[in-house]
Structure 1
Amino acid sequence: MQYVTRRYSSRLSTYKTKRWTHPTQQAPEETATLPSTTPSEHGSHTLRLRKHGNKALPLPSLFDPIKVAAREKHKAKKPPADFDSSNLTPFQQELQANPYAHALASPTRQCVLTRARLPEHFLIPFISNLPPIAKAESQTPSSPPQQQPQPTQPLLQPRIGFRSPKPSSYILARAAAFQHIAPTGTGKRKKDKWAVLVNQRMSRAWAQRKGVDQRKLDEGKEWIYDADMEVVIREKLVTDALKKLAWCAAAKHGEDGSGSLVGVMEEVIYEEEVGAVLYLGEDGVNKDVLGGVPTYDLKGLVDEESLVALREACGLEEGKEDIIVLWKSPKTVPTLLALELLFGFTGAGSAVAGTEERETAPRKGGTVDEESPTP
């Protein structure tokens, strides 16, 4: 059904007729098919084909499927990569099981203290946790009381062992760096060197929340920073390393799934099969073990209760040396990186003894068989 409406035009002194279509009736032009399209020569945009052999014209950017897909590309999820370790060359397989290669291949970030650009593995990332937006409190007497007061200021927290989409700042993963930025003094003599951890993106987000000028924010007063951050980070690094060691102790290894990622010294045949040596007690600390293999002494960093749990998880029997080995495998790379980060933070580092006299012959029962050929 169509209705005819007339509108008077003073300029032309005539009546203009406009036909209005009922909503339930479809207009003839809407049933027409959309014009044919084709990608351009270089594939950068879409062209609309025209009749009678006229030159094709580009579609508007809002309707061009090629440009729309390019704008939304960063939001789309990436498909899982097809990775087959059997197709790797021997050199690629060696790199895959090398923790130092993974550390150097991590993304480069800038330290806020030294301004040095380093791989992310050698830095501690910090995020700014903004306080929750205050909600209108209910006046009903039946509402339960609040258990703990909610924070009203943003909190600087290190993120270790997980990734966060929040804006991050990075600082050198050394205890000396946190000793340098630790808050000192009181009152007017108070120095907040740790405020360098607050970057522009963190400051902008908090300024927008408060509705103030970003340039007027005082990071030392607005943000909360733990004065014992060095101890907090050390505990987080220890917890992360122990969690990954426990996973290695429970994981299976080998083609048939009957092997383990953790072993003892008596099981070592070739030095090249070992990724690291770990001391869990006083026994064997001063003994000559595998030369050229990183060794870590956990006795001084981990409490006795955690060491006992780790011994049980690794299956160490009573009367044996408190020494375990991590086999070299791509599965143990995250654990080796966590150990290297922990000992690098404390300044102890990994002890690599006997590098000049690196053993290449197989070991049997802790002794070197000089007549055995190298693998």
Structure 2
Amino acid sequence: MYATIEAKTRHTRPKTYQDEQEKSGFQKELEANAFANALATPVRQCAFTQALLPSHFLIPIVAHITPPPEEDESGKRQASTVHLSPDIDLEVPRELRSPSRAYVIADREVFKTLSSRNKWPLIASERMKKWVGLKLGRNWQTLKVNREWTWDVKVDEVILDKLKGNVVMKMREAQQAGLLVHEDAMGTGDVAFGLRVGNTAEGNSSGQLHGKEVYDIAALLGDEKWQDLVGVQSVNLVALSASSTQVLQQALLRLDHYMSSKSG
């Protein structure tokens, strides 16, 4: 009888600390795999290509409103301005931005196409229009996105700068934590990935980098940014395994995909 009760209630007990620690080598390897984590992000649909992709490979877009000044020089109150912008470090109060977001594939060429061919109004979803209509006291079906909303024609550059800035910030955090070191000084720590400059292949000579991703930071960030960040002498770096370096690798993956993808 007691054996039956034991069997029935075993699954309802909270896991012990030891249970949490008993992960297989494969589970640990999967958790440390930045690409696997990118693929595991929620799937969303690109508003332009209609492709279904993990959200890691998409750029979120929101509608937001700039309220008018009280009055212009003539004493007349101006209308609010509606914008459609990438939601990456967008400093807009919650009440002035649409609660819903659209998504566009994280590909610089796609964003260039949206601007050059004036296709960006396609991104504005019905939910965004309804929110704008409610905010402005207008019938959302009468809104003319292409005439009344604004879009930065250089949005591809804006996104690129923000993605680069995110990588720089994460690299600084990893450096300050002692997790981004020159390959000669890496010791015996587990290596997550490597960083190199240009076509230098020395970083691949280390056995600890075998099978690891190695990113060209000069190509991704530009000479000035990486030299200011890590110094001219540190041309081959390794990132030691940790949660913060995994976040850095996610940022590197996103930037690399945005710059190199040819889906547009």
SS in structure 2 of the partner of residue 156 of structure 1: strand
Distance 2:23 2:201 in 1: 39
Deviation at 1:233, TM superposition (A): 0.6
TM-score by length of 2: 0.76
Question: Residues 132-191 of structure 1: CA distance to partner in whole angstroms, max 9, x if unpaired?
Answer: 3x5767xxxxxxx9xxx998311122123689883111000011211221134xxxxxxx
Higher relative CO (CA 8 A, sep ≥ 6), structure 1 or 2?
2
Question: Residues 282-333 of structure 1: CA distance to partner in whole angstroms, max 9, x if unpaired?
Answer: 5x62447144321211213434443233215xxxxx7x55111112333311
Distance 2:247 2:129 in 1: 33
Contact 1:276 1:294 in 2 (8 A): yes
Distance 1:198 1:83 in 2: 48
Contact 2:108 2:261 in 1 (8 A): no
- Residue 180 of structure 2 corresponds to 262
- Residue 212 of structure 1 corresponds to 138
How many residues matched? Answer: 233
Deviation at 1:99, TM superposition (A): 0.8
Amino acid in the other structure paired with 1:92 = Q
Q: Percent identity of the aligned residues?
A: 27
Deviation at 1:127, TM superposition (A): 1.2
Matched, 1:309 2:235: no
- Residue 256 of structure 2 corresponds to 343
Distance 2:37 2:78 in 1: 40
Distance 2:261 2:133 in 1: 41
Matched, 1:323 2:236: yes
TM-score by length of 1: 0.55
Return the structure number with greater helix share.
Answer: 2
Larger radius of gyration between Structure 1 and Structure 2: 1
| CA distance 1:325–1:288, shift in 2 (3 Å) | closer
- Residue 8 of structure 2 corresponds to none
- Residue 274 of structure 1 corresponds to 191
Equivalence map 1:48-127=2 (5 Å): 86-127=21-62
Amino acid in the other structure paired with 2:80 = T
Distance 2:116 2:101 in 1: 21
Deviation at 1:212, TM superposition (A): 2.5
Q: CA RMSD, aligned part only?
A: 3.2
Which among 217, 220, 228 is matched to residue 298 of structure 1? 217
Distance 2:89 2:182 in 1: 27
Equivalence map 1:1-375=2 (5 Å): 86-132=21-67, 152-160=80-88, 166-184=99-117, 192-251=118-177, 260-267=178-185, 273-280=190-197, 282=198, 285-287=200-202, 289=204, 290-312=209-231, 320=233, 322-347=235-260
- Residue 355 of structure 1 corresponds to none
Distance 1:249 1:322 in 2: 14
Deviation at 1:269, TM superposition (A): 6.6
Amino acid in the other structure paired with 2:229 = L
Distance 2:121 2:184 in 1: 51
**Structure 1 gaps, min length 5:** 1-81, 138-144, 185-191, 252-259, 313-317, 350-375
Contact 2:107 2:261 in 1 (8 A): no
SS in structure 2 of the partner of residue 334 of structure 1: helix
| CA distance 1:223–1:306, shift in 2 (3 Å) | same
